[in-house]
Amino acid sequence: MFADWPLLSLLVWTPIIGGLVVLLAGDHGGAQGAKKLALIFSIVTFALSIPLFTEFDTTTSAMQFVERYSWISTFNINYYFGVDGISMPLIILTSFITVIVILAGWEVIKTKPSQYMAAFLIMEGLMIAVFSALDAIFFYVFWEGMLIPMFIIIGVWGGANRVYATIKFFIYTFIGSVFMLVAMIYMYYQSGSFDIQDMHNLKLSMDEQFWIFLAFLMAFAVKVPMWPVHTWLPDAHVEAPTGGSVILAAIMLKIGGYGFIRFSLPITPDASHMLDWLVILMSLTAVVYIGFVALVQNDMKKLVAYSSISHMGFVTLGLFVVFMIWENPANSDLSGATLAVEGAMIQMISHGFISAAMFLAIGVLYDRMHSRNISDYGGVVNTMPTFVAFAVFFAMANVGLPGTSGFVGEFMVILASFKANFWFAFLAALTLIIGAAYTLWMVKRVFYGDIANDNVAKLNDLNSREFLIMSLLAIAVLILGLWPAPVIDVMHASVDNLLHHIAVSKL
């Protein structure tokens, strides 16, 4: 029944128009008016995203739900939406997380709730558009446009040092992306269109690929973020309101990983091959070094922020280790590479749920105590048993306990890395120890032990709204952990196609 619907347009424009409606309605309709309106729009959007999954044809790698109209004829720019198995799961993740975020802001946001809700709705539309745009400039418009609501969210509803954090966030990302824009314009004059799939098939010399790859690397590495351009993330995460942190960690970071898959690998396969050591080096540094950095944090949000960088290291590792797997003569087929890329994809989705849950858990504590310092807590389990049950579950997922989604992606990437080089796998596997160390140590200090002070003694356990949010995320983490097959099936054809494409040199 959805075959004739312009589903992707609906998914993009419903939240954006919803955001404008909420903005115009303002805060006049009572304290909860804007929030209810926003919730309705976000649920409608989520409902609209479900047919993407149910109607998805898993046998093809071609773009589905395609919509294409001429937009700016002067530069041959098209209004061009379409999804494949790589972008579709990310879109559903986005629409799901936005519902959670709107619920999470229900009681907490007191100043200008309509603007807050509108910013998140508009951002949801922009993020879905980023995942489904198939025209480079069309993609870029949403990619950059996304910065505006996030800039406002961190700056208006953030913590004490929010202005510094948000300007740093904006400028870092902007620096990364403008060079990508120049690369896109360059390719436009080579191929005559901004169509991403035309760019995939565009012949480029090694020199051209080298520079284009670097331009893309700047844009996506900042977004992921990869060491050493990660420094904006801890600041932004710490200062952002809970909802902002959730969106940043759960979705915005994924856009970087998605960019590598959609642009870097297929457009510049030879340069990616040549420079894969650089990306792998950056990824492993993130996994190991940033893991240690997380260990010494006193601020819970900062700890989770560093943990995010460390986990995203697996994504970039999985994407770029494929070239090393091919080089290894022991591997004759694509299966190792498929494992790596699919592992990276699963890791992105799983991290979307887990990091969202971790930030929400910290948000639950912060709303009550107005502190993120680990030292201000202790023995929370005595007063908030239900909450701690959830929080410990998510912490275990963050560590990568088998049965949770955190295990699947990391395990796949580590397994694939073995086929490339023992030491890659060894270093990557260190995260199982380091991750356990920083996560569980935080769990011990915050949740267990005796009640640390009077404030902790006065804590109330989860209310029904918070319980709902936590349960939804816990279910998602469990399903993806126990039965990831449907998600892998969805992406399999597209990943296979991608790997066949990049296995062929463009030179």
Partner 1 sequence: MTLDALNISIAWPEIFLLSMTCLLLVVDVFLDQAKRNASYLIAQFSLLGTLVLTWVNMAGQRVEAFNGTFVVDPLADVLKIFICLVVSLVFVYSRGYLKDRNIFKGEFYVLGLFGVLGMMIMVSSNHMLSLYLGLELLSLSLYAMVAFNRDSGASAEAAMKYFVLGAIASGMLLYGISIIYGVTGSLNIPEIANNLVKQPEMNIGLIFGLVFLVVGLAFKLGAVPFHMWIPDVYHGAPTTVTSYIASAPKIAGFAIIIRVLVEGLGALQSDWQGMLIILAVLSLAVGNVVAIAQTNLKRMLAYSTISHVGFILLGLLAGTKSGYSSSMFYILVYSLMTLGGFGVILLLARSGFESEELADFKGLNQRSPWFAFMMLIFMFSMAGVPPTVGFWAKLSVLSAVVDVNMLWLALIGVFFSIIGVFYYLRVIKLMYFDEPVSASAIDNTIEMKVALSFNGVIILILGVYPGALMSLCFSVFN
122-151 positions binding partner 1, by CB under 8 A? 137, 140-142, 144-145, 147-148, 151
374-433 positions binding partner 1, by CB under 8 A? none
| Distance of closest approach, residue 178 Cβ to partner 1, in angstroms | 4
Among 1, 4, 59, 74, binds partner 1 (CB under 8 A): 74
CA terminus-to-terminus distance, the chain? 45
Among 31, 62, 171, 433, binds partner 1 (CB under 8 A): 171
Among 2, 53, 179, 448, binds partner 1 (CB under 8 A): 179
Residue 225, preceding bond cis, omega within 30 degrees? Answer: yes
Among 2, 53, 174, 289, binds partner 1 (CB under 8 A): 174
| Distance of closest approach, residue 186 Cβ to partner 1, in angstroms | 6
| Distance of closest approach, residue 476 Cβ to partner 1, in angstroms | 32
Q: Quote the CA–CA distance of 151 and 86 in Å, as a whole number.
A: 27
Q: Which range, of 30-38, 167-175, 291-299, 411-419, touches partner 1 by CB under 8 A?
A: 167-175
Please, which residues bridge with residue 203 across strands?
Answer: none
Q: Quote the CA–CA distance of 146 and 125 in Å, as a whole number.
A: 9
Q: Quote the CA–CA distance of 34 and 115 in Å, as a whole number.
A: 9
Q: Quote the CA–CA distance of 49 and 10 in Å, as a whole number.
A: 9
Angle 128-132-136 from CA coordinates, rounded to 5°: 115
For the chain, how many residues are written?
507
Please, which residues bridge with residue 100 across strands?
Answer: none
Q: How far is CA 248 from CA 12, 57, 146, 385, 480, in A?
A: 18, 30, 11, 28, 21
Residue 228, preceding bond cis, omega within 30 degrees? Answer: yes
Q: Between 167 and 432, name the residue whose CB sits nearer to partner 1.
A: 167
Among 72, 468, 475, 507, binds partner 1 (CB under 8 A): 72
The site map against partner 1 for 99-118 (x = CB under 8 A) is: -------------x--x---
| Distance of closest approach, residue 154 Cβ to partner 1, in angstroms | 9
Q: Between 25 and 482, name the residue whose CB sits nearer to partner 1.
A: 25
Pinpoint the alpha helices (H) of 105-161. 113-132, 136-145, 147-157
Q: Quote the CA–CA distance of 16 and 88 in Å, as a whole number.
A: 19
Residue 20 makes contact with partner 1 by CB under 8 A: no
Q: Between 222 and 495, name the residue whose CB sits nearer to partner 1.
A: 222
Residue 151: partners with Cβ closer than 8 Å, 6 or more residues away: 166, 169, 170
182-241 positions binding partner 1, by CB under 8 A? 182, 185-186, 188-189
Half-sphere exposure of 134 (CA within 13 A, CB side): 22
Size of the site for partner 1 (CB under 8 A): 36
In the block, tokens 């950095």 appear at 293
Residue 28 makes contact with partner 1 by CB under 8 A: no
Q: Between 212 and 249, name the residue whose CB sits nearer to partner 1.
A: 212
| Distance of closest approach, residue 77 Cβ to partner 1, in angstroms | 8
| Distance of closest approach, residue 289 Cβ to partner 1, in angstroms | 28
Q: Which range, of 67-75, 238-246, 297-305, 325-333, touches partner 1 by CB under 8 A?
A: 67-75
| Distance of closest approach, residue 419 Cβ to partner 1, in angstroms | 39
Q: Between 112 and 368, name the residue whose CB sits nearer to partner 1.
A: 112
Q: Between 193 and 297, name the residue whose CB sits nearer to partner 1.
A: 193
| Distance of closest approach, residue 137 Cβ to partner 1, in angstroms | 7
Q: Quote the CA–CA distance of 228 and 97 in Å, as a whole number.
A: 28
Residue 178 makes contact with partner 1 by CB under 8 A: yes
Q: Between 27 and 496, name the residue whose CB sits nearer to partner 1.
A: 27
| Distance of closest approach, residue 269 Cβ to partner 1, in angstroms | 22
In the block, tokens 């690369």 appear at 183
Q: Between 112 and 501, name the residue whose CB sits nearer to partner 1.
A: 112
| Distance of closest approach, residue 239 Cβ to partner 1, in angstroms | 11
**3 state DSSP class of 17:** helix
Question: Positive or negative, the Cα torsion across 87, 396, 364, 150?
Answer: negative
The number of beta carbons lying within 10 Å of the beta carbon of residue 100 is 25
Among 181, 295, 401, 482, binds partner 1 (CB under 8 A): 181
Amino acid at 3: A
Q: Between 107 and 144, name the residue whose CB sits nearer to partner 1.
A: 144
Amino acid at 358: M
Q: Quote the CA–CA distance of 87 and 80 in Å, as a whole number.
A: 14
**3 state DSSP class of 299:** strand
Q: Which range, of 89-97, 160-168, 246-254, 464-472, touches partner 1 by CB under 8 A?
A: 160-168
Please, which residues bridge with residue 81 across strands?
Answer: 67, 133
| Distance of closest approach, residue 115 Cβ to partner 1, in angstroms | 7
Q: How far is CA 6 from CA 12, 49, 366, in A?
A: 10, 12, 41
Pinpoint the alpha helices (H) of 288-327. 291-295, 300-327
Contact positions toward partner 1, by CB under 8 A?
26, 71-75, 112, 115, 137, 140-142, 144-145, 147-148, 151-152, 155-156, 162-163, 166-167, 170-171, 174-175, 178-179, 181-182, 185-186, 188-189
